[in-house]
Structure 1
């Protein structure tokens, strides 16, 4: 049984962590990795493969650190930033949006449909403000995507994520930027 669980858990966990779908999914990916490493350790013990036992005992410890980091520490940080965002929406202060929620956020257009994914945000060192946000459109898992830079004024950060009044066609008409060469300004 462990011989079937080990590779299945390892493959599923690898997909969960590689997908970069947020702290919770990554954390649960490490839980599944732990199941896989314990199963591999069992396979090693029952087949006399000391190297398999030792390497997966070490990987179990690494996976426990991953669980703590993503389901413990990062989950606590996410709760704190979300609490601040929620509180700011209920009080007469400027609304807040967690910076950690920007990268990988779906960008929704005026009709509420996804028009892209936020790849990164460039910050100005002089004024400490967002200079521009890079958004990917098209492609699957980064393959075949097109990158465009949007000005902060074209975006609205809110409780429901990142929105824009631009539709997919308007974004596609923006200049394409290369993945390895972003503009120094917009």
Structure 2
């Protein structure tokens, strides 16, 4: 893998994680938080690729496999299940 590709994966993963964490910290609502988790998912995918394509990054790769699972739960809770809860509230009103 070229050094340029590895550098792009590494810095995209780090930058996307920072942006997503900032969005979650702002607590701007369920929809924004859900999209922040989507950004977290892309960050984890980039860092998994970087970790396993880089000779010294397997620890980061494995860590991000775990984070990918956690972030997928966040996407589900805030974007998919959140819609279901909203529909139930509308039906009850």
Q: Displaced runs of 4+ in structure 1, greater than 4 A?
A: none
Structure 1 stretches of 5 or more lacking a match?
A: 86-186
Shift of 1:83: 4.8
So what's the TM-score if we normalise by structure 2? 0.82
- Structure number with the higher helix fraction is 2
Q: Which has the higher contact order (CA 8 A, sep 6+)?
A: 2
Partner of 1:6: 13
Q: Spell out the pairing of 1:81-96 with structure 2 (5 A cutoff).
A: 81-85=89-93
What is the alpha-carbon distance in structure 1 between the residues aligned to residue 44 and residue 81 of structure 2?
22
- Structure number with the higher strand fraction is 1
Tell me whether 1:68 sits opposite 2:71 in the alignment.
Answer: no
The structure with the largest alpha-carbon Rg is 1
RMSD (Å) for aligned C-alpha atoms: 1.4
| Number of positions where the alignment pairs a residue of Structure 1 with one of Structure 2 | 85
Alignment deviations for residues 122-172 of structure 1 (CA, whole Å, 9 cap, x no partner): xxxxxxxxxxxxxxxxxxxxxxxxxxxxxxxxxxxxxxxxxxxxxxxxxxx
